[in-house]
Structure formats: structure tokens, C-alpha cells
Chains A and B, each alone.
Chain A
């Protein structure tokens, strides 16, 4: 194997000779320069491969003596791993800077090489003074390179950086010399083995000085203003290096010193790392400058990484270096390294100061890159950050360090908030100017993104036992993306075919309740997707996200382990968020949606982690064995699912998300995605049953939440003017019933929930599709702007009519079955008041349903809609498929009730009897078939009577009404639609004042003002920053309790 010392040799040799070579011309120089970097990378690659094949750690001695008498280097798996990325990053960084390197003096090349050499040295050397030397090589090269951009800002930032760096190295030097004085040598390994010597007071101070110096190099909150300035002001190519490879070197050096630290320091240092993670992200919330924002994020990630490195020391098993790649820290490192460098490069390409000004100027590649980096940083699958967070949280729980999960969750959420907000804003920006971007600048971020993606198989150790099909959503999306060249409708059909094939594939795996859910997701998905075929204009990303959403929905019930569950859950979250973001005004609702969803996901993750901690395995079945953590797991899961169900109090994401998503997508959200929370509850109750906390039975509590959701959802729907908002709140209300009934934990209750969820899919699908069709023709969603459309869109009217009869629960249609089952189940269980309230909610539903159909289809037709045509067949066909389904199950409820009851019977004993078409429970009975027949009978009698004399009926025109001898003014004023239930609002509207929205707004506001407050410590004054460092040192010293 090549002696790694050749890395230094190559770097130095070419650095020394470059000024001379430069006489031959800059092209030659650059050739030599890139060749050297490639050679360095090749050396590390060789080593990395060797370790992959099982090579042993190699110690490299210099000067022909053994350590501690000479300086030695070490090349081990971890070293090779870090250096691989460092040198890869170096190569990419150099490519990115090609333009700058070409136009600047040859010195830049030399400095770049020495910078890389310094970082490599930092990683390999085992001599503490040598660390200092390499640190200085790195720093000084960097100081000089920051000057590549010569303006007052960049220079000022550089100067502050030098002051901070100078202080850090001063303390480091002092510390090193005292460590030497006390231990008598400079070799790190020997010092570690003679650790007790350092446990005297002087020794601890020396150690403290060394450690604090590296902490400062890691830019801890709040002593890091100088670093932020550099991130903001320096040439982005340089910022990328600072954030990635220099940081990598510093982190690794810190890692090397960890074995020296007294155990009692760990807690405090972890705390400081976590504080950095949380508060940097908090401060980032208010940040407007893109690069400074990235700076905050970098600093936060470093804090997390530092904390994790210390935490990992406590996981005995994770230290197995053969799995270095799957190690948490490694994954976090890779994730941050590539994503952050990539983002800085992008920031250079976009070249806009304000994060809000970013736009991609119709460059799909840039959009994709941006997405990859942001998603990776937020920790979404399949990127390394996802595996890192998953493992980290499970391990923390397993090793009884649950408290640390809290800052990780808060920090992650804050980071997600500003990153995803930025992503959303950027994607939605008007794309105007066209800028030509040099190819060489695209290459580095492109390669970084590719590595982020293809590194995915390295996490295989975590996927053991996980079915391949859980990655199908990604695969399907990728396939559709590759088919981008096809006509749009063709792609849609391919997508539907994929869904069908997928359904075929998973059919044998599903039975019982799962099968019911699969039926809803796959069959419903296919039918509803038909409507999306209506337009042939290209829809970027649409089919990809849609197929991903539907497939991940279908996968969730099939998950056997919490890992599978969570992975599919995250896929679902991301794809649905992207679909909302596609909507015209989707930016804000998408942000709210993703924040709540991520919060829910983190709650669920924590619950799984706790379960893992207790049982040691990931199987979902094991939830039933929980004992110690049973209650917390129960509550966390329930909370997570409540958020997803948009229960009362956490519902504010729902109206916006449903309404602003594209019209063809909303039925999928309302009809299918909302049901996943029901599955969650089924899972929760199925495995964990009833749990009691204090005097509260938790399912009872959930039941109350459900019924209040149903009630308030309905009430809010009554007061909406926008049809999609109305339907959104209606969905919320319906979900409330399902939560209520599933919380009953009885055969009837679950039957109700499942029955409702299937029928809800049908009628919400119809309603939203009908609305989509209408909106596609008239272009408004405000109900008072519609009216009288029955004559223009009779098919849509029929579909809406059937749907609202079904929703309201009026016999003979299937909705009544749901109501009947619900009340029977509630009374059987003894939940009388809940029954009363849900009855009230059901009555309120009449209000909004009538309003819905009246204001759209009845009343006065507006002049400007006189020429509208019926919605396109693409909308009508799926609606009538659902109409058919509803009619069928109304007529023959057995079709659906019997399988549902049979499925539920595996969970609860059944007390239901069948007599032909009659369902008989202990309380009552219902014969859907007979009701249908009788209704048709009694309907026919008067109808025939009217039809007999139909000849005398004369059709009249619009406005021919009895109007007290006056002529009505205009349709706009005659159509009674706006503020339809004014008196209702007057009577009980106070119940739905926007208190909850205000609450969440103030939470957000509070975080932002906190952020604003905290960032005022960054005054911009270099001296103040120096003072921060001194204060940090003193405070940390006193907190560590050195004695």
C-alpha cells in the first residue's frame, strides 16, 4: 500500500514547485494541481478499499524511530473514511474554484494544496504538537484563501476569523505544552495510556485548554460570530471548504482527544454540543442571508456531531469500526459534509444574497440538486441523515439517555423549519432571468448529490430484515422521472399501471384489516388518479410524487418493523408535502403541513425508539410486550397519529394543505392519506390495547378528542366560503368520527371505523373530484361566485347529491350504515355523551352539506357561467365509479360489512348476528336492503303521480319567480350564498374563533422573537467575538468543575 506520507509529499512537492511550473503557463500549473489532488484522492481511495477488504490499522513512523520519540501517523478505517471524503471534497472544491484559480495568482493553488495537506495531517497525526502544526497550516492557508475575495466584508470577516483562530491556537499551544510537561511526552496514544497523570489539577487545566481550543475551532454557540461572518462573506467555494472539509478535520481531532477526557466532563460537553445544535438552528430561523443561514446550519450540525461523538463513546457496540460507515457519526458526517458543501456551491452558482431571492431560472438540474441537499440535511430518507437520526434516537433510548432525545428533536424541527421554508420559497419563485452557468461549477454539487444518493446501500446493515418493497416508492418515482420524455398522459397511465402491478404484488401479503386498507389505497388511488389524466400539459414531478405517496401509503400497513413503518411514513410525508407545494398558493400551507408532519414523525420515532430500548428489537409486534415504557410509547404514538389525523388542536395544517394542493390531489389526501392515521390507531390499539394513566383511560381520552374533532370540524366547515376549505374541514370532522369509533376498542367500534373509512373514501373522492371538475371549468373556489350550475353540470350534480346524502348519513345510502354503527357501538360501550355530541356534529354536517350543494348547483346561475360545459370525462368517470360503489354497498351492505366484521373479529369477539340482509346487534337492527327497497317504493308513488300529469308542467326561465311584484336585481344579489349561516355564526360562532390557529401562530412568533433576541449577541465586532470566546472558556471551565 502506498505510504500515506506521500500525501504530504505530493502536496508539498507540487506546492513548492508550482511557482516555478507556473512559468510554463497557467494551464500546465492547473494540470499539475489537479493531478496532485487526484493523486492524493487516489491514495486515500486505495487505503479505503484496503480497509474494506479487511486490512489492519497501519501506524506510520517517521525519522526511523518509534513513537513517542518521533512523530507517527495512523491510518485506520475511520481515518481512511474521513480522508476519503476530505480529499474527494477537495477535488470537487478545486473544480468548483476553477475559474477563480485560473484568474488568480498561482499562490491560490499553493494555498489550496497546503490546506488539503493540513487537513490530512490533522486527521492522521498522533502527535499532539504535530496536531498544532497541522492546525496552523490549515488555518493559515485558509486565512489567506479567504482573501480570494477582496472586499471590505470578506476581509473584515477574515480578520475576525484570524483573531478567533489565533486565540484558539494560543490556548491550544499552552495546553499542549502543559500536557507535555506533565506526561513527559507528546504522543497521543502514550498520553492516553498514561491518562491518570493528567487527572491532577494542573493536568486537567492543560487538558481543558487543549479541548476548549478545538471546541472553539468547532464554532460552538454562542462564541461563533466570526465563523458566521466568514460563511456569509467569503467566496462560496471557500465557505464550502470551511463547512465541510476543514470542519471534518477539526471534528476528527476532537474525536481523537475524547479518550483523554475525564468521564465527568462528557455530560457537560454533550450539553454544550446540544445547545449549539438547538440555538444555532433557533437563530437560523430569523436569518435572511442564504449563506449565513447555511452557516447557522453548519454550526448546528457540528454541535450535534460533537455531542454524538461523545455519546457514541457510551454505546459499546457501535464502536465496532467495521461498521464505521453505518455509524451514526459517520452518517451524520457524510450527510453534512456533502450536503453543506453542495449548498454552498449552489449558493455560489445562484449568487443571490438573500435566501428569498433564490430562484433556479428554469434549470431542473439545480432544483434537483437543491432538493437532494436540503432533504439530506433535514434527514429525510433515503439520505444518510435519516439513518443517522434513526439510529441515534434508537440508541439513545436503548442506552437510557432519553433526555438527549428532546434537544435533538427540537433542533431538528427548527432546522427543518428554515430549510424547508427556504426550499418552498425557492421552488415557488417566479423564474425570470436566464443565467448561463459554467459547467464546471455544476459538476461538484452534482457529484456530491450523486454520492449522497448512491451511498445509500452502505446503510444496508440497518436494513437487515427489511423488505425491498419499502423502497419501491422511490424506485417508481425514479422510473417515472426517467420517462419524462413521454407525453404527459402516457406517464400518467404508466403510473396507474405501476400502481396496479404493485397492488397485484402486495395482494398476497395483505389480509384482514390490512387488506381493507390496501384496497382503499390501491383501488382508490387508481380511480382517483384517473382524474389527473384530464390535462396533457406537462406537470413536473406530479406523477412521481403521486406514485410515491400512494405506494408509501400502501406500504405502511404492511410494515412489520418500526423501521419499515417509519421509512414508509417519511416517504409519505415528503411526497405529500411536495404535492402541496406544487399547488399554486402552496408555499405557506406546505410549510405548516411539513412542520406538523415532521413533528408527528419525530414523536413516532421517539416512541419506536423507546420500544426498541425496552425490547431490543424493531418488530412492531413487540409493542404489545412493552412494560416500562408502555405509557410513554402509547402517548407518543397517539400524539403522532393525532397530528396526522388533524385532530382538534393540531388541525391547523389541514385546511390549507387540502385546499391549496392541486384539485386532483386533494381527494387523495382527504380520501386516502388521512386514513393512515386510522391505521396508526389500529396498530396502536391492536398491539397495546387499553392503557390507564392515573385516573384516565387513554382510549377514552382519545375518544373525546375524536368527538370534539368531529364537532369542531363540522362547525368550522359551516362557516367556510371556499369550497375546498369546507370539504377540508368536513374531512377533519369525519376523521374525528373514525378516531372516536376506533378508540372504542370493541368489535362494533372498529367495524364502524373501517366501514366509515371505506365509505368516506368513496364520497370524499366524489366530492373533491366533482369540485375539481367544477373548478377546472369556472376557475374559482369561492362558493358565492358559483350558483345554478345544475343545468350546466348535471353529472357533477348527481355525484355531489349522492355524496352529500351519503356523508350526511341519511338513509337509504351507505352513510347511514356508518352512523347507525357508530351510535350503536357508542351506546353499547356506554359512551352516551359522546354519542350525543356526535349526533349534534352529524346534524351540523347537514348545514355545510346543504350549503355546498345549494350554493354551487342551485340558486341563480351567474351570467358569466352561462357558457360553461360539464366537467371533463376524466373527472366524471372516476366519480361515477364511486357512485356505483356507493349504490352497491347501500343496496347490499353485506358486501363490505361482512368482510370488515370478519377482519375485526380477529381482534375482538363479535356480538353481531346476521339475518339475511339484517344486521342485528344487542341493541338494534338494520336491514339496508329493505330500507333501500322501501325508500324506492315510497319514492315511486308520488313520482308517478307527478309524472302522470307532467304534461301540464311548463318549464320557466331563470328569474321567473314570485318576488313580491318586484323584479330581482342580478343573479349576484339574488343568489343567497355568502355568509349563508350568519345566524348560526351569531349563535355559536364564538366556539370556532381562531384561537387554536392563533395559539400556533404565537408559538411560531415566539420562536422567531426568541431567535431575534439571541442573534443580537452577534454584534459584528471582532473584539466582542474575542470576548465571547474568553467568556465561553471561563464559563465552560467553571461548569466542568475542574478540581
Chain B
């Protein structure tokens, strides 16, 4: 910590705000894009922000118990933590976040923090759909983590470090230095995993908008839901930032960050818009198939050749 605690906190707050707003707007843009693709007019791209404000403004809410109450807290704490452990913009003091606390593995494991807490909170509601959603989500998560982990391992081998900042630093100096080009196998494996991570089609069974009213967060409403929605934006950006840093050379300024995250996000949106949905076991088998093989190849190529 080169500067004082207070400054750090202020910087973190700025960084978080920017990321959250950008994340929410991205979500809105996606809804708009999908709607247009469907031939609808679609909501305004700032709709997510309106939703959050509306939900937080509700005057009543109900609780099923203490864990239920804490679920959203866990969730957004997970989102914020994950984000804060990732250096958002390479070389920036303000957007450097708290990446001194830990490396890539910390980020990967901190992702689970929010999910776990959320799952617990949802569980206490006693709603079977929540539990079913969690079961599906966790199952799918284990499956896409495998290619993702292999991809990460491959990158770590490639760069010889777990330090995200160093990984970004190694990719500077031209587009061809990006992992995307230096290690395409790892990138492909990770991008497929990202599709699952973002729960876009064909891996959207977890929240399964048609069969189950919305999956794990079924019982949540008003300001609880508001927190969850905020997290959705923030967490999205955290993942995108991670991918940007690992595979797409990171961002040296705010603008390239906006471009790159938008680009990565659009990949998943487009893929999602063009595929139907897998059942849970199908998506598990899918992830353990081709993407895993690609991941293994990535590891073998970087590790042993």
C-alpha cells in the first residue's frame, strides 16, 4: 500500500462506481440489441438503472430469516471483492484496485464467495425452485470451471506468473502480443467457459426464464433484488475485466477498457442469441468434452512443448 488507507478506499469507490454503471449500461445495451434482433423495440439502455432505483425505493419487504437476509449481501460483497482484486486498468492508480492482496487464484476463488452466499440465502427461503436453480447452477459451474481452469493454468505457464498485472504487462506492445494470438487454444477454452459463466444461451438453464420463475433469486424482491441487480452489473464487469486482462492485453486507459469489455461481452451476447438452450446434463457433458480437450491441449502445448 503505497498510499493511505483513505485514499485507497476513495479510489476503490470511484473504480466500483464506474464499473457498476458501465456494467449496468452494458446489460441494457444487450437487452436492446437482443430486442432489435427479435424485431422488438426493446427497453431503453438505461433500464437496468431504473429497475435498481425502483426496487430500492420499495417501502416493504419480507424476509425468510437471517441467511436469506444476508444472501444478497454475500452476493454483492462477492461481486465487489472479485472486482477489487482485479486491476481494472493497467498502470492506473485509481483503477488499480486492491490487486496487491492476491493473485489470479484469489480472483478465481473469490468468484465463488458471492455465489455460495447467494445460494445459501436463496436456500433459506425454502422455495424449491431456488434450490433447483442452485443445483443446476452449481453443476454447470463445476463443468465450465474445468476448461477455464485449464486455460488459466496454460496462461500461468505461458507467463510464468500468477500476478494479473504482470500478465497484462507481458501483453503490451501490440495486438499480436495478446494472449488471444499467443495462446489461442487457451483463449478459446476460456471464452466457451465465459459463455457458461455469463449464463447466456445455450447455458441459461440455471435461471431458465420460462420454466422456473428466475431460478435462485426467485424469492428476492425490493431492495434485496436491487442489490442483486447491482451486482449483476458489477460482477459482469469484473469477469469481463478479468478476461480482458488475461486474453486481450488489458486496458491502459478508460477508453480501451470500454471498447474491449464491450467487445468481449458482445461475443457472448451474439452466441447466446443464436443458440437454443441445453439441459443441465447436456451442458455439463458439453463443457467436459470439446472445451476441456482444448484446455488440455492448451496446457500441453504451453507446458510441455
Contacts and interface: CB of A to CB of B under 8 A. Distances in A.
A–B contact with Cβ pairs below 8 Å: the answer is: yes
Interface of A: 788, 790-791, 797, 801, 804-805, 808-811, 816, 819-820, 823-824, 827, 830, 832-833, 835-836, 839-840, 843-844, 846-847, 850-851, 853-854, 857-860, 918, 923-927, 930-931, 934-935, 937-939, 941-943, 945-946, 949, 952-956, 958-964, 968, 974-977, 980-981, 983-984, 986-988
A983 B206 CA distance: 12
B256 interface: no
Nearest to A950: B69
B157 A827 contact: yes
Interface of B: 9, 59-67, 69-70, 72-74, 76-77, 80-81, 84-85, 98, 100-106, 109-110, 112-113, 116, 119-120, 123-128, 131-132, 134-136, 138-139, 141-143, 145-146, 149-150, 153-154, 156-157, 160-163, 213, 218-219, 223-224, 227, 279-282, 284-285, 288, 295-296, 299-300, 303
Contacts of B98: 930, 934
Contacts of B73: 939, 942-943, 946
A988 B227 contact: no
Given A823-B105, A949-B223, A810 B142 contact: no
B106 A816 contact: yes
Given A987-B284, A988-B284, A962 B218 contact: yes
Given A850-B119, A924-B105, A844 B142 contact: yes
Contacts of B299: 832-833, 836
Contacts of A811: 81, 102, 106, 109-110, 113
B165 to A, nearest CB: 11
A68 to B, nearest CB: 81
B4 to A, nearest CB: 15
B62 A843 contact: no
A955 B63 contact: yes
Contacts of A832: 153-154, 157, 299, 303
Given A854-B134, A923-B161, A987-B281, A810 B303 contact: no
Contacts of A976: 128, 131-132, 135
B14 to A, nearest CB: 14
Contact of B60 (A824, A835, A941, A954): A954
Nearest to A820: B105
B272 to A, nearest CB: 21
Contacts of B280: 983-984, 987
Nearest to A989: B281
The B interface, classified by DSSP as helix, strand, loop or mixed, is helix
Nearest to A794: B66
Instruction: Among A820, A835, A968, A983, find the residue whose CB has the most chain B CB atoms closer than 10 A.
Output: A983
A181 to B, nearest CB: 80
A850 B116 contact: yes
A924 B84 CA distance: 17
B138 to A, nearest CB: 5
Contact of A854 (B59, B80, B131, B227): B131
B144 to A, nearest CB: 9
Given A850-B138, A974-B126, A984-B139, A934 B101 contact: yes
Contact of A926 (B106, B157, B296): B106
A969 to B, nearest CB: 10
12 contacts: A808-B112, A811-B110, A823-B153, A836-B146, A857-B67, A935-B81, A945-B223, A960-B62, A976-B132, A984-B281, A987-B280, A988-B288
Given A808-B112, A934-B84, A934-B98, A836 B227 contact: no
Contacts of B213: 962, 964
Contact of A927 (B101, B110, B145): B101
Given A816-B106, A839-B153, A846-B116, 15 more contacts: A791-B65, A833-B296, A839-B149, A854-B120, A854-B134, A860-B126, A923-B162, A924-B102, A927-B100, A935-B113, A954-B60, A956-B64, A960-B64, A962-B218, A983-B280
B101 A958 contact: no
Nearest to B133: A976
Contacts of B139: 847, 981, 983-984, 987
A984 B284 CA distance: 8
A924 B142 contact: no
Nearest to A831: B303
A749 to B, nearest CB: 16
